[in-house]
């Protein structure tokens, strides 16, 4: 496979996943900002911070829903906005049309112009349906991929891009929200914390899944455990890394060569497997998250180096 | 003017029986609904075409007209023989002018027309392309000016585009009206990609000692024909590469892959000569693959079409194609040329200047319907402006009579209307000469217009060749 094709597939996977994760993030901010007693600005600020795409906005003194939605949904200069992600994913797909199936292309191509003419005010007014639409688009693309693409190197690159992006998004959300999970901040108590905790789950579409696994109580430990170490929740760091390792191993088998990226993924999986959440809280949740974000970035670089893109 | 569907007494000509029956059965309203559906499908699939110099939407749709254009079996037999004959002669001419140039020595074609032609590549002299093939895909633009009269408007020996429309137009028609094709009386066109791949494999270079690796070289996704490039690569199951994916090492051509370098044997290139290799053709160009031409010349890789093939489809050379057929093949040309005046010849030029209002004037090297004058449709001012251009540079122009192109039915605002059409079949030349029974029918959608180019508001139609 051409290196350029692999690169385009990898980034297409990342962009589609980022669009999807950003939609979930905005959804969380929207819901949190509506809660009585919430500081609307703080909520939007953490959304912007978790998206990692507009540092100056996260620092801004005042911040409105319109600004955030404009920036994260529509802004073309922000390469991580939903609009930019969908446009870039399509451009990547168009550059490697032959590596996509017709179904995948149609899912990418369908309605991609829709966000082009929209202003922030209109977007804000129709926010829930726009976010729903975004999630549907990315789901359609994922579905088309699963149902039609050959399971060869192209598939591995595409899926790895998506998984690395997903691990990164979950980690960055935790990075922004870890303080609400720390026991020390549990001074106010009551409904407010409950909402903060559930918001973290909500941003990863994990509210109900959490119930199934932990049967009830929201605890900071439970939530951190779920998002970092749970092996069956598809947005947890552990799940993502196991899947990344599997695809990297498949790739190594196919090409008959193991490289630095395979070693990094295996180490990370081993590390996660050996961790207990209580220990993690004792040794420092924040440090762990920062390290994991760094490892994920390094892994991405190692993949592009190993496969010449 | 020849109406392809209706005879003078408005009775339906035999090849169009089925089409007439279908239109009457479905009714214009339903067809119009289907036409909108077809457009939505084209948009969804992403079959688009960019128009150079017009700005606006870089991914425009070519209008598609639902009503097929039909050739009867016997009409096609004659066309087919004529197209293959022409393709053979053009390739023989190319081999000749880059070797002993017998046709110039014999005085059949003036020497300066070839040697001073911009498209003539001195670097190609003495080079032997595999199978002596220079133009592997010959697109012959044909118009019908009477019931039994087909005339060639021009030849395209470099990288004729549009074949994806031949395939997609049929695909759409079969998807929307499957019952039309059930009886099997229309010849299939879907063998084209298989035959193209075969043709390309047949011209593998001498240094290739295994199954040849064939790739399609595109300038990239901003090119107007990018959709076609990706479509063809996909149907042939070959890599779609851009110049930066290729490099030259140890006298061979390689592509960069995730497993390291992979050797490339045959390049179906959809980029111009000048962008193939900056070391040979255009030192200031950043495009291209440095050193590729030397690899080609030494038999390390095959370029399809060969560099310099354009000298055969130049409009000044076009005039002599019937002579080539006689000279190389000893045959009588099956397809006629359109009478053409070369402004380079003083007598011709005088005639052209005296009759501008009745003539179509084209640039010798131009293509795509850009910068031409259609006398009968031009204003006085436009004619005078063109007169000045011709006088300043007569060698740049040729002129032809305004042709009475045949018309085919389209779905217009007032129901079934008539519009002028032309036809481009795609002849494949490898070890064998192959021709898919079909081609691209282009239609001038503007009422009365004779310009069918998609860059000038033309549309496309499905083309049916009836089975025997």
Residue A107: closest CA among chain B residues belongs to which residue? B44
Measured between CB atoms, does A309 come within 8 Å of chain B? yes
User: Would you say the C-alpha torsion A85, A91, A92, A93 has a positive or negative sign?
Assistant: positive
| Residue-wise pLDDT tens digits, A250-309 | 999 999 999 999 999 999 999 999 999 999 988 889 999 999 999 999 999 999 999 988
Q: Write the DSSP symbol of residue B223.
A: S
**What pLDDT score was predicted for residue A187?**
46
Q: Give B45's contacts in chain A (Cβ within 8 Å).
A: 102, 105-106, 109
Put simply, the answer to whether B258 touches A97 (Cβ < 8 Å) is no
**What pLDDT score was predicted for residue B384?**
93
Determine the Cα–Cα distance for residues B78 and B81; give it in Å rounded to an integer.
5
Confidence of residue A188 (pLDDT cuts 50, 70, 90): very low
Measured between CB atoms, does A148 come within 8 Å of chain B? no
**What pLDDT score was predicted for residue B353?**
94
Q: Give B231's contacts in chain A (Cβ within 8 Å).
A: 97
- SS in 3 state form for chain A? CEHHHHHHHHHHHHHHHHHHHHHHHHHHHHHHHHCCCCCHHHHHHHHHHHHCCCHHHHHCCCCCHHHHHHHHHHCCCCCCCHHHHHHHHHHHHHHCHHHCCHHHHHHHHCCCCCCCCCCHHHHHHCHHHHHHHHHHHHHHHHHHHHHHCCCCHHHHHHHHHHHHHHHHHHHHHHHHHHHHHCHHHCCCCCHHHHHHHHHHHHHCCCHHHHHHHHCCCCCHHHHHHHHHHCCCCCCCHHHHHHHHHHHHHHHHHHHCCCCHHHHHHHHHHHHHHHCCHHHHHHHCHHHHHHHHHHHHHHHHHHHHHHCCC
Q: How far is B235 from chain A (nearest CA, A)?
A: 9
| Residue-wise pLDDT tens digits, B293-350 | 999 999 999 999 999 999 999 888 999 999 999 999 999 999 999 999 989 889 999 9
Three-state secondary structure call for residue B139: strand
Residue entry with tokens 């579409």: A205
Q: How far is A272 from chain B (nearest CA, A)?
A: 29
* Average pLDDT value over all residues in chain B: 91
Whether A29 shows a pLDDT value over 90: the answer reads: no
| A58 in Cβ contact with A185 (< 8 Å) | no
Stated pTM of the model: 0.86
Nearest neighbour of A4 by CB, restricted to B44, B231, B245: B245
Q: How far is B144 from chain A (nearest CA, A)?
A: 37
Q: Give B46's contacts in chain A (Cβ within 8 Å).
A: 94, 97, 105, 109
| Residue-wise pLDDT tens digits, B228-253 | 999 999 999 999 999 999 999 999 99
Q: Give A95's contacts in chain B (Cβ within 8 Å).
A: 220-221
Q: How far is A176 from chain B (nearest CA, A)?
A: 36
Q: Which of B255, B257, B268 is nearest to B218 (CA)?
A: B268
Q: Give B257's contacts in chain A (Cβ within 8 Å).
A: 1-3, 308
Residues pairing with B424 in the sheet? B440
Put simply, the answer to whether A308 touches B220 (Cβ < 8 Å) is no
Q: How far is B426 from chain A (nearest CA, A)?
A: 23
Determine the Cα–Cα distance for residues B410 and A18; give it in Å rounded to an integer.
46
Query: If you write DSSP's letter for every residue of B260-313 in order, what string do you get?
Result: EEEEE-EEEE-S-GGGT-TTTT-TT---S-TTHHHHHHTTS-EEESPTTGGGGS
The alpha carbon torsion through A15, A18, A23, A27 (nearest 10 deg) reads -170
Q: Which of A207, A208, A211 is nearest to A197 (CA)?
A: A207
Whether A27 shows a pLDDT value over 50: the answer reads: yes
Put simply, the answer to whether B241 touches A96 (Cβ < 8 Å) is no
Choose between A5 and B368: higher pLDDT: A5
Q: How far is B98 from chain A (nearest CA, A)?
A: 35
Nearest neighbour of B233 by CB, restricted to A95, A98, A308: A98
As given in the structure block, the two tokens for residue A10 are: 């990898």
Q: How far is A291 from chain B (nearest CA, A)?
A: 29
**Contact map slice: A 96-125 vs B, CB within 8 A:** 96-98, 102, 105-106, 109-110
The alpha carbon torsion through B289, B294, B297, B301 (nearest 10 deg) reads -40
Confidence of residue B110 (pLDDT cuts 50, 70, 90): very high
Helix (H) or strand (E) holding B37: helix B28-45
Q: Which of B192, B88, B194, B82 is nearest to B131 (CA)?
A: B88
Whether B44 shows a pLDDT value over 80: the answer reads: no
Residue A255: closest CA among chain B residues belongs to which residue? B259
Q: Which of B227, B258, B268 to mutate to test the interface with A (most CBs of A within 10 A)?
A: B258
The alpha carbon torsion through B97, B102, B106, B107 (nearest 10 deg) reads 10
Residues pairing with A207 in the sheet? none
| A235 in Cβ contact with A205 (< 8 Å) | yes
Q: What is the ipTM of this complex?
A: 0.79
Determine the Cα–Cα distance for residues B150 and B144; give it in Å rounded to an integer.
4
Determine the Cα–Cα distance for residues A73 and A132; give it in Å rounded to an integer.
12
Q: Which of B428, B357, B449 is nearest to B166 (CA)?
A: B428
With an 8 Å Cβ cutoff, the interface of chain B facing chain A consists of 44-46, 220-221, 226-227, 230-231, 233-234, 239-242, 244-245, 255-260
Nearest neighbour of B258 by CB, restricted to A102, A106, A308: A308
Whether B393 shows a pLDDT value over 60: the answer reads: yes
User: Would you say the C-alpha torsion A179, A182, A184, A185 has a positive or negative sign?
Assistant: positive
What value does the mean pLDDT take over residues B405-414?
93
User: Would you say the C-alpha torsion B170, B174, B176, B177 has a positive or negative sign?
Assistant: positive
Put simply, the answer to whether B242 touches A110 (Cβ < 8 Å) is no
Q: Give B245's contacts in chain A (Cβ within 8 Å).
A: 2-4
Determine the Cα–Cα distance for residues A24 and B427; give it in Å rounded to an integer.
54
Whether A191 shows a pLDDT value over 60: the answer reads: no
Q: Indicate the range of A1-10, A172-181, B334-343, B373-382 predicted with least confidence.
A: A172-181
Put simply, the answer to whether A2 touches B255 (Cβ < 8 Å) is yes
Q: How far is B40 from chain A (nearest CA, A)?
A: 11
Q: Write the DSSP symbol of residue B164.
A: H
- What backbone torsions phi and psi does residue B255 show, to the nearest 5 degrees? -115, 150
Determine the Cα–Cα distance for residues B66 and B27; give it in Å rounded to an integer.
13
Q: Write the DSSP symbol of residue B15.
A: G
| B204 in Cβ contact with B130 (< 8 Å) | yes
Q: Give A309's contacts in chain B (Cβ within 8 Å).
A: 258
Nearest neighbour of B242 by CB, restricted to A4, A109, A309: A4
Q: Give B234's contacts in chain A (Cβ within 8 Å).
A: 97-98
Q: How far is B459 from chain A (nearest CA, A)?
A: 23
Whether B58 shows a pLDDT value over 80: the answer reads: no
**What pLDDT score was predicted for residue B285?**
67
| Residue-wise pLDDT tens digits, A163-187 | 999 999 999 999 888 877 776 544 4
Strand B266-269 to B302-304 pairing? parallel
Whether residue B52 is preceded by a cis peptide bond, meaning omega within 30 degrees of 0, is no
């Amino acid at each position: 496979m051409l290196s350029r094709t692999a690169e385009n597939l990898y980034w297409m996977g990342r962009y589609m996943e980022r669009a999807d994760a950003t939609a979930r993030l905005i959804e969380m901010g929207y819901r949190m900002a509506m809660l009585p007693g919430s500081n609307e600005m703080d909520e939007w600020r953490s959304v912007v911070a978790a998206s990692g795409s507009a540092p100056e906005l996260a620092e801004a003194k005042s911040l409105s829903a319109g600004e955030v939605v404009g920036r994260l949904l529509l802004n073309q200069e922000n390469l991580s906005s939903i609009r930019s992600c969908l446009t870039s994913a399509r451009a990547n797909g168009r550059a490697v049309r032959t590596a996509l199936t017709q179904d995948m292309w149609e899912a990418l191509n369908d309605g991609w112009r829709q966000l082009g003419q929209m202003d922030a005010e209109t977007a804000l007014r129709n926010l829930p349906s726009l976010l729903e639409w975004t999630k549907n688009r990315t789901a359609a693309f994922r579905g088309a991929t699963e149902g039609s693409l050959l399971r060869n190197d192209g598939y591995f690159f595409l899926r790895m891009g998506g998984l690395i992006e997903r691990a990164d998004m979950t980690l960055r959300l935790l990075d922004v929200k870890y303080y609400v999970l720390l026991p020390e901040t549990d001074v106010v108590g009551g409904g407010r914390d409950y909402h903060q905790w559930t918001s973290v789950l909500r941003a990863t579409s994990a509210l109900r899944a959490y119930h199934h696994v932990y049967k009830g109580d929201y605890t900071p430990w439970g939530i951190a455990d779920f998002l970092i170490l749970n092996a069956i929740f598809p947005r947890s760091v552990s799940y993502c890394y196991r899947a990344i390792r599997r695809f990297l191993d498949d790739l190594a088998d196919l090409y008959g060569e193991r490289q630095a990226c395979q070693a990094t993924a295996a180490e990370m999986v081993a590390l996660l497997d050996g961790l207990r959440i209580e220990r993690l809280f004792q040794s420092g949740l924040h440090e762990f998250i920062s390290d994991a974000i760094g490892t994920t970035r390094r892994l991405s670089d190692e993949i592009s180096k190993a496969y010449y893109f | 003017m020849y109406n392809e569907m209706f005879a003078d007494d408005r009775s339906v000509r035999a090849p169009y029986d089925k089409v007439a029956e279908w239109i009457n059965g479905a009714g214009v309203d339903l067809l119009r609904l289907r036409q909108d559906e077809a457009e939505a499908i084209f948009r969804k699939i992403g079959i688009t075409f960019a128009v150079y110099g017009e700005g606006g939407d870089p991914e425009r749709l070519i209008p598609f007209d639902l009503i097929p254009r039909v050739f009867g079996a016997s009409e096609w037999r004659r066309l087919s023989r004529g197209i293959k004959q022409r393709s053979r002669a053009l390739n023989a001419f190319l081999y000749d002018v880059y070797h002993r140039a017998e046709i110039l020595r014999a005085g059949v074609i003036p020497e300066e027309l070839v040697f001073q032609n911009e498209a003539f590549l001195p670097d190609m002299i003495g080079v032997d392309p595999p199978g002596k093939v220079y133009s592997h895909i010959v697109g012959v633009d044909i118009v019908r000016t009477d019931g039994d009269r087909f005339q060639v408007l021009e030849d395209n020996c470099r990288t004729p585009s549009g074949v994806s429309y031949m395939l997609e137009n049929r695909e759409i028609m079969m998807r929307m009206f499957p019952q039309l094709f059930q009886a099997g009386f229309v010849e299939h066109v879907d063998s084209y990609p298989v035959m193209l791949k075969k043709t390309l494999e047949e011209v593998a270079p001498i240094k290739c000692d295994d199954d040849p690796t064939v790739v399609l070289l595109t300038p990239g996704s901003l090119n107007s024909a990018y959709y076609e490039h990706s479509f063809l690569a996909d149907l042939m199951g070959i890599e779609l590469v851009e110049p930066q994916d290729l490099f030259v090492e140890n006298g061979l051509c390689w592509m960069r892959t995730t497993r390291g370098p992979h050797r490339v044997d045959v390049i179906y290139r959809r980029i111009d000569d000048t962008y193939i290799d900056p070391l040979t053709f255009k030192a200031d160009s950043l495009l291209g693959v440095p050193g590729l031409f030397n690899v080609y010349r030494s038999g390390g890789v095959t370029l399809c079409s060969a560099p310099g093939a354009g000298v055969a489809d130049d409009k000044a050379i076009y005039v002599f194609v019937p002579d080539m057929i006689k000279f190389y093949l000893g045959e009588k040309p099956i397809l006629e040329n359109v009478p053409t005046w070369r402004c380079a010849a003083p007598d011709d030029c005088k005639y052209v200047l005296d009759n501008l209002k009745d003539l179509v004037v084209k640039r010798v090297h131009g293509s795509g319907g850009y910068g031409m004058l259609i006398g009968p449709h031009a204003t006085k001012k436009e004619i005078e402006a063109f007169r000045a251009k011709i006088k300043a540079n007569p060698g740049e122009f040729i002129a032809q009579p305004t042709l009475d192109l045949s018309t085919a039915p389209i779905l217009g605002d007032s129901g079934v209307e008539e519009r002028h059409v032309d036809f481009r079949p795609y002849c494949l030349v490898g070890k064998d000469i192959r021709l898919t029974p079909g081609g691209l029918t282009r239609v001038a959608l503007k009422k009365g217009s004779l310009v069918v180019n998609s860059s000038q508001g033309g549309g496309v139609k499905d083309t049916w060749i009836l089975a025997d």
